Structure 1
Amino acid sequence: MTSEPKNSEPKASQPTPQPEKPPRSRSAAVAIEVEALRLPGVTHAFFTRQGGVSEGFYASLNGGVGSSDDIVRVGENRRRMAAYLGVSASHLLGLYQIHSPDVITVETPWRDGERPRADAMVTATPGIALGVSSADCGPLLFADPQAGVVGAAHAGWKGAFTGVAEATLAAMEELGARREATTAVLGPTISREAYEVGPEFRERFMEQDAGNAAHFTPSGRDGHAMFDLPAYIVARLTLAGVGRVFDTSLCTYGDEKRFYSYRRTTHRGEGDYGRLIAAIALATR
């Protein structure tokens, strides 16, 4: 079932019980932290593919429960990510992503193995890490530290086109966040140089807004174009009135050492690919 943003306040009077947290383990190779999100009471990470236990296509920090990787290895990888963030493994949440604008408001962790169908999450509950997976699509992390609200969104072209970023902001506002006080950061995403699209794709965006022409440049093939997904996402966030918007300007396709890429895997005819995880949480007090 696809879930829409919920109009409900977090149950501050009934805080989520927190299991004992593992020691926090941190490595610059394992994750990228952005200075703009080093905010009071907020922890975050754009995890790379390094520092895990998966092998082959998935080497090594594959966090994708939906991949065909060994589930035990994926579980260990996610445990390591949770430790990095300073939360228990059961509190690093994920979604069954469907390339939609649908958002889940999280008040308590869901049951082990449960993955609601949506592409974004928001919370005002400390100790819950919101994690989205990607392998070329845009991972977005949001925070309003003054309001104590964070969010995470998976923004592929379909989700970005249909408004997943704006829907995430609206859900955060339901919890008390303000757009002008919110910081949004776009993590590693496929770059324009690696993202060739056909004429029908470009036409769809031109029908939405003629100004979208700025996000396309001619490619070497007749009728095709190179699409700048990061620039499109940043433009949508800016137009939505977000206070601070940042792009890491890191390309998943071009940096095989650090990132998985669906398109690179497809071009090589490989059987599957790993998933990167981007996550954000409010620190427990």
Structure 2
Amino acid sequence: MASGENPDWNQMRALLATVEAGSLSGAARKLGLTQPTLGRQVAALEKSLGVTLFERVGRGLVLTQAARELVAPLRAMGEASETIALVASRQSQSVEGLVRITASDVYAQYLLPPILLKLRQVAPGIVVDVVASNEVEDLIRRKADIAIRHVPPQEAELIARRLPDTVAKIYGTPELIDRIGRPADERALSRADFVGYSESVDIVLAELQRNGLTLSAANFPLLTNSGLVAWDWVRRGMLLGLMMKAVADRTPEVEEAWPDFVGVPVPTWLATHRELRTARRIRVAFDLLAEALAEASQPAN
């Protein structure tokens, strides 16, 4: 072999195309080149290899023995090149990296698991870190990339999508409701004990009063800052509790304590930082969460 420059892939591809097309003109059309350009590439390959690849017979070209021995490895290289291009294309479209999602502990426990499984199927390269927190500051302090909130974000650097509202109703175990009395009405429920949320007991109290219940702080003997703890107390039959219907429908131990109660609307927003929305992994997770949460917020069948 000559000691000239090593052949590059364009030169070898020119030879393979000429072999497969049977002529320089056919190979040029296949590769989108002019015939003189293709001819120069084949000549450069002959020079770098130090061998003659074609012999002219009349107006045609005939492969030399040296060229015929190159055909098989050149075809293997061609297939490898196509595989590399395919893999590169897939990688350029891949979605991978860490995505932190903050949501209330109740959402994280009851509504996120099937959504996370779907996200794993759609984008297996994404690593999800769920920050189960009831604090709305998590996103603005950059402790998370995406936040599921029940209040609209006020920060200018955030963007949000309003999801369909769900509804919260009053639930208890069948045994507790039996003790309160069936059918439970406003009068019976006004004597019942309810679980309270440490930071929002006044809000819950006012909402239930607005809907016709004569309640006071005395109706909330147990308070907690954890939605999961509060819901566990309801599941155990300790007290009645206000909860999103989407969660209660996934909790077989409870039933509606006041079937005539229309419920309290629960708005939901999905928020992220504006610059993070342009990151593909964040955008994919954000869009999938929006679609799946809209479905999950509806009552289970």
Instruction: Provide the TM-score with structure 2 as the length reference.
Output: 0.19
Q: Which has the higher helix share?
A: 2
Structure having the higher Rg: 2
Instruction: Provide the TM-score with structure 1 as the length reference.
Output: 0.20
Q: Whose RCO is larger (CA < 8 A, sep 6+)?
A: 1
